[in-house]
């Protein structure tokens, strides 16, 4: 009986060792996890690079309206032979000489409607890219928090599975002893063994789930961090502000970053119709240039040779008009294609709006439901803890068995697991609600981080 009296504390130590749980002092918290993700997440880094690339749309579109200046230079060695009939008969003229020169040209677009449209498109492309980067940044916050709490949830589940296995193992041993003295049938022993075997399988599955959760976190932050600060404080159950699903939906439709990106994308597609249709319009350019050419003297000149060393300069300036007449139907086809792409962009915008509407309402309802769920599971945890205390007291005086204590511990761990999972769900629901509304920022992680054990 003396050894049995220490069973609960031994069980707690067994769970801790099996989980590999470290001391919380050296644990990494949620803010540190987010900062690591900000520096190491490949998906967000790709979004940043894509945004930087999109910023170049504006200078490229502006460059198409500025002067284009080019310089061409050449040099050549000429070796020619010329035959002709003269008064004295047939004569031949060998000419060997160098020619060289350069050409300097300037083209300034005066009327290029497609390029002005492209400049307007560039503004919307940059705004679209900025909205997409904002969306990626908010998504990173949610992913960092989700993977952080997925690890904690997996640890909680493994803790519960270990206590369940130990409880079934104790039941199996007790059933085996009772069978050996003829108190129960062999079927009772087999049932206890089956329960223990199933619990072992569930523990293995829980361990794999924990490793997978840690691997998912490593994917985000770049390396393994097995020590995570757990929840230490009661999570305050606050209703969303404003406390109205419709208000959140309205806010989301106005400020959601994915909706904003889709809106700018539709504007780009609409302008593309005008840009393609401008292929039917004339273009007007100011052109100017200078050409210089020089020819050296041939060492073998006859009376038939034409010219000798020379230098020629030509300067020109003028206007050049190009009027498209027929391009095989290319301009018409490209314009029709742009119309269909604009319709596609409108449908994608509508899809984004509907998805945001659903996400905002669903997230709001999820937060409200989580508040009730957390409160109910908190009461359930309190009840199981009191039941455990009563059973442990009965164990001390011999009215309860070790199996009763183990089962009560299992029920307590199960309630604790479910209670913590409900809190994780509530926390993530609040973040996703703000993400849907387009207002999520890293500052929203600060109060959550304060609830952790540091």
Q: Across all residues in the chain, what is the average pLDDT?
A: 88
1 confidence band (pLDDT: 50, 70, 90) = very low
For residue 443 the two structure tokens come to: 């500052």
With a cut of 60, say whether residue 453 has pLDDT above it: yes
5 confidence band (pLDDT: 50, 70, 90) = very low
The secondary structure of the chain in percent helix, strand, coil, rounded to multiples of 5, reads 65, 15, 20
The predicted structure's pLDDT at residue 447:
95
Q: Could you give the CA distance from residue 211 to residue 219 in angstroms, rounded to a whole number?
A: 12
Which H or E run includes 106? strand 89-111
With a cut of 60, say whether residue 4 has pLDDT above it: no
Residue 67, CA distances (Å) to 62, 108, 321 in order: 10, 4, 16
Q: What b/e string do you get for 170-202 counting C-beta neighbours within 10 Å, with b at 16 or more?
A: bbbebbeeebeeeebeeeebeebbebbeebeeb
Work out the average pLDDT over 47-74.
Answer: 96
316 confidence band (pLDDT: 50, 70, 90) = very high
The pLDDT tens digits for 285-308 are 999 999 999 887 765 544 444 456
CB 188 within 8 A of CB 125: no
DSSP code at position 241: S
Q: Could you give the CA distance from residue 34 to residue 26 in angstroms, rounded to a whole number?
A: 17
The predicted structure's pLDDT at residue 20:
45
For residue 29, the number of C-alpha atoms closer than 13 Å in the C-beta half-sphere is 15
Work out the average pLDDT over 313-333.
Answer: 94
Q: Which position has the higher pLDDT, 251 or 397?
A: 251
The predicted structure's pLDDT at residue 408:
87
Q: Could you give the 3-state DSSP secondary structure of residue 92? A: strand
Q: Could you give the CA distance from residue 172 to residue 371 in angstroms, rounded to a whole number?
A: 39
Which H or E run includes 274? helix 257-277
The predicted structure's pLDDT at residue 93:
67
Work out the average pLDDT over 220-249.
Answer: 91
With a cut of 80, say whether residue 402 has pLDDT above it: no
CB 437 within 8 A of CB 242: no
**Chain center to CA of 351:** 19
Work out the average pLDDT over 267-274.
Answer: 97
Q: Which position has the higher pLDDT, 353 or 313?
A: 353
CB 95 within 8 A of CB 298: yes
With a cut of 70, say whether residue 112 has pLDDT above it: yes
With a cut of 60, say whether residue 23 has pLDDT above it: no
The pLDDT tens digits for 358-385 are 999 999 999 999 999 999 999 999 999 9
Q: What percent of the chain has pLDDT over 70?
A: 89
Q: What percent of the chain has pLDDT over 90?
A: 68
Whether residue 242 has a cis bond before it, omega within 30° of 0: yes
Closest by CA position to 121, among listed 345, 363, 287, 325: 345
Alpha helix positions (H), 41-185 = 42-54, 57-63, 113-180
What's the full length of the chain, in residues? Answer: 454
Which domains does the chain possess?
4-65+113-280+328-450 (1.20.1600.10), 68-111+282-323 (no CATH)
The predicted structure's pLDDT at residue 85:
64
The predicted structure's pLDDT at residue 21:
43
With a cut of 80, say whether residue 22 has pLDDT above it: no
The pLDDT tens digits for 171-206 are 888 888 888 888 878 888 888 888 889 989 999 999
Cα angle for residues 392, 393, 394 (degrees, 5° grid): 90
Q: Could you give the CA distance from residue 132 to residue 50 in angstroms, rounded to a whole number?
A: 9
146 confidence band (pLDDT: 50, 70, 90) = very high
The predicted structure's pLDDT at residue 304:
44
Q: Could you give the CA distance from residue 369 to residue 367 in angstroms, rounded to a whole number?
A: 5
Q: Could you give the CA distance from residue 64 to residue 107 in angstroms, rounded to a whole number?
A: 11
With a cut of 50, say whether residue 444 has pLDDT above it: yes
The predicted structure's pLDDT at residue 349:
98
Q: Could you give the 3-state DSSP secondary structure of residue 73? A: strand
Work out the average pLDDT over 444-449.
Answer: 96
For residue 260, the number of C-alpha atoms closer than 13 Å in the C-beta half-sphere is 21
Q: Could you give the CA distance from residue 378 to residue 357 in angstroms, rounded to a whole number?
A: 32
CB 40 within 8 A of CB 221: yes
């Amino acid at each position: 009986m003396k050894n049995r009296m220490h069973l609960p504390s031994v069980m707690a130590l067994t769970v801790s060792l099996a989980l590999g749980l470290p001391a919380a002092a050296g644990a990494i918290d949620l803010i540190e996890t987010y900062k690591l993700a900000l520096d190491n997440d490949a998906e967000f880094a790709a979004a940043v690079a894509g945004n930087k690339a999109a910023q170049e749309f504006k200078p490229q579109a502006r460059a198409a309206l500025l002067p284009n200046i080019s310089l061409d230079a050449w040099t050549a060695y000429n070796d020619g032979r010329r035959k002709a009939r003269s008064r004295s008969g047939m004569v031949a003229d060998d000419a060997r000489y160098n020619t060289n020169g350069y050409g300097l040209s300037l083209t300034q677009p005066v009327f290029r409607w497609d390029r002005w449209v492209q400049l307007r498109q560039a503004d919307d492309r940059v705004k679209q890219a900025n909205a997409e980067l904002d969306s990626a940044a908010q998504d990173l916050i949610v992913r960092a928090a989700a993977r952080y709490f997925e690890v904690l949830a997996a640890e909680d589940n493994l803790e519960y599975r270990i206590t369940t296995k130990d409880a079934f193992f104790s039941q199996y041993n007790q059933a085996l002893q009772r069978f050996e003295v003829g108190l129960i049938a062999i079927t009772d022993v087999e049932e206890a063994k089956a329960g223990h075997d199933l619990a072992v399988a569930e523990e293995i599955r829980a361990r794999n789930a924990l490793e997978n959760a840690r691997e998912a976190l490593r994917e985000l932050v770049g390396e393994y961090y097995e020590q995570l600060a757990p929840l230490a404080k009661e999570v305050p159950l606050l209703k969303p502000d404003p406390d109205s699903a419709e208000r959140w939906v309205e806010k989301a439709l106005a400020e959601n970053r994915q909706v904003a990106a889709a809106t700018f994308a539709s504007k780009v597609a609409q302008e593309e119709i005008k840009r393609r249709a401008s292929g039917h319009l004339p273009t007007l350019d100011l052109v100017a240039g200078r050409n210089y050419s020089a020819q050296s003297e041939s060492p073998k000149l006859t009376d038939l040779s034409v010219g000798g060393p020379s230098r020629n300069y030509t300067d020109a300036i003028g206007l050049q008009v190009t009027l498209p007449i027929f391009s095989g139907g290319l301009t018409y086809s490209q314009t029709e294609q742009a119309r269909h792409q604009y319709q596609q962009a409108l449908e994608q915008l509508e899809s984004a709006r509907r998805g945001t509407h659903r996400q905002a309402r669903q997230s709001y309802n999820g937060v409200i439901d989580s508040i009730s769920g957390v409160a109910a599971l908190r009461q359930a945890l309190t009840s199981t803890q009191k039941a455990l205390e009563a059973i442990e007291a009965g164990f001390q005086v011999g009215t309860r068995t070790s199996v009763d204590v183990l089962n009560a511990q299992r029920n307590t761990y199960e309630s604790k697991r479910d209670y913590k999972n409900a809190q994780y769900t509530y926390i993530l629901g609040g973040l996703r609600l703000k993400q849907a509304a387009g207002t999520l920022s890293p500052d929203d992680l600060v109060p959550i981080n304060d609830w952790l054990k540091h």
